[in-house]
Structure 1
Amino acid sequence: MQSHIINIVIVDDHPIVIEGLKIMLSHKPFFHLSKTFNNGGEVIQFIKSNEVDIILLDISLPDISGIQLCEEIKKVSPNTSVIMFSNRSERSIIMQCIQNGASGYLLKNVSLEELMECFHGALSGNIVFCNETKNIISKPSPQELTTTPRLTKREKQILQFLAKGKTSNEIADELFLSPLTVDTHRKNLLQKFGAKNSAELVHIAVQQNMILE
């Protein structure tokens, strides 16, 4: 039996989503909508001076990725349950959110009953998903079933530069290496990931959450 008020913050840049959630929560006793934000800029400052139990957080915000903001929120307020609330249904995105400290991941077509169940589950310390999200995470892509290769520090650096579209010569200048050395590392990366070229290499690395898209 709920006995105390649960303070909720919503971060979403779609006014219609916020208004819909306001109406839904207004009919639920013990749940108090403390504040809404349409971008991530002021969220951290707010939670520093206000007790927040749950943050319902969209991934696509105008000023910051919700995935990154989730990580920052958890650093400032570890006890706040951050539940991602998005239309993005890629398994890799969902898993990245959980790795960044999210207490759950809900798609925006979630029912009110599922939403309430997930709120209670997160407050009990569980990682929560709506039914559709459960189906998504139960079916990993072929790339995700592949064991993540072990990379050296230098290979990780070069992988990040390749993801930015840098050439071997540009990477060599950045890292004070010879282009031949960079090419050798690149070939090793292709072999470790089983990729035919740099574009495929970067795609697989993104799928395995080794670099950000």
Structure 2
Amino acid sequence: MIKVFITDDHYMVVEGIRSLLMNEHDIELIGSASTVASCKAFLAHQLPDVLLLDISLPDGNGIDLCKELKQKYPGLYILGLSTFNQASYISEMMDNGASGYVLKNATQKELTEAIRLAHIGKTYMAFEVAKTLHTAKLETNDKIILSRREKEVLNLIKNGFTNTEIAATLHLSVNTVDTYRKSLLTKLDAKNTADLVRLAFMYKLISLE
């Protein structure tokens, strides 16, 4: 049985989800909270398998709470729950450890699929949400302009070259290569080299060839 908990400050939303889940043989709704504080209080005593977490709450926001809860309870699967189909909200929620993002106009099939996928450690993304993210990525790609040298450095980074190896290959100083690497991290808003390569593939700045 998949134990589900809801944190949302709208009674109608909670009751609507309750009615959608009540006849599911493998899903049990074990409770709900309407604030960040009451959610934390419940989780301190009992952990669900999946938490449906609203983005906007009276005493905080679900994005920050998601990050905090994932750090404290790594085994807890969290699904963002919101009316906001905006790339910034979706991306932040996913970056903070959410297993998916469910819109409040989701159908019963979408909601139960999201819960079941989250429960087995997979990510759920509704078509509408995925489309929003895809569009945002295309727009971001249009805004990222790399110089010829940056593209050369990026491709060598993709192939696992170190700064020293890149410097030797391109006949540059190691300091110059380091400057290019830092510039690429900034332009793609990447946290580290692995993230840089992932984002570069996502934005189609590099290929597998």
Partner of 2:21: 25
Indicate how the Cα distance of structure 1 residues 35 and 148 shifts in structure 2: closer, same or farther if over 3 A, else same.
farther
CA contact (8 A) 1:91 1:140 kept: yes
Distance 2:77 2:94 in 1: 11
Tell me the residue number matched to 2:122. 126
Q: 1:87 to 1:148 in 2, by over 3 A?
A: farther
State the Cα distance separating 1:33 from its structure 2 match.
1.0
1:180-203 Cα distance to aligned partner (Å, 9 max, x none): xxxxxxxxxxxx88xxxxxxxxxx
User: SS at 2:115's partner residue?
Assistant: helix
Tell me the CA shift for residue 143 of structure 1: 6.0
Cα displacement (A) at 1:81: 0.7
Partner in structure 2 of residue 137 of structure 1: 133
- 3-state SS, counterpart of residue 136 of structure 2: coil
The Cα of 1:134 is off from its aligned counterpart by 1.3
What is the count of residue pairs matched by the alignment?
147
Q: Check the 8 A contact 1:44/1:76 in 2, yes or no.
A: no
1:16 maps to 2:12: yes
What's the offset of the Cα at 1:30? 2.3
Deviations 1:113-153 (A, max 9, x none): 1111111111121111112111111111676324499xxxx
Structure 1 residue identity aligned to 2:135: K
Tell me how far apart the structure 1 counterparts of residues 71 and 16 of structure 2 sit (CA, whole Å).
29
Contact 2:2 2:119 in 1 (8 A): no
Q: The residue matched to 2:75 in structure 1 has which SS?
A: coil
Q: Aligned residues: percent identity?
A: 31
* 2:70 maps to 1:74: yes
| SS at 1:83 equivalent | strand
Match of 2:195 in 1: none
Q: 2:89 aligns with which of 77, 89, 93?
A: 93
Deviates more, 1:38-47 or 1:105-114: 38-47
Alpha-carbon separation, structure 2, partners of 1:104 and 1:148 = 30
Give unpaired runs (5+ residues) of structure 2: 147-185, 188-209
**Segments of 4+ in structure 1 off by > 6 A?**
none
User: What amino acid sits opposite 2:24 in the alignment?
Assistant: K
Q: Is the 8 A contact 1:48 1:76 kept in 2?
A: no
Query: In structure 1, what residue type is equivalent to 2:115?
Result: F
TM-score normalised by structure 2 residue count: 0.65
**Alignment counterpart, residue 43 of structure 2, candidates 47, 60, 78:** 47
- 1:48-74 C-alpha deviation (Å, 9 max, x unpaired): 221310000110111001101111111
Name the aligned partner's letter for residue 132 of structure 2.
I
Q: Structure 1 unaligned runs (5+)?
A: 150-191, 194-213
Aligned to 1:58: 54
Indicate the SS of the match to 2:79.
Answer: strand
Query: TM-score, length-normalised on structure 1?
Result: 0.64
Deviation at 1:39, TM superposition (A): 1.0
Shift of the 58–148 alpha-carbon distance from structure 1 to 2, 3 Å rule, reads farther
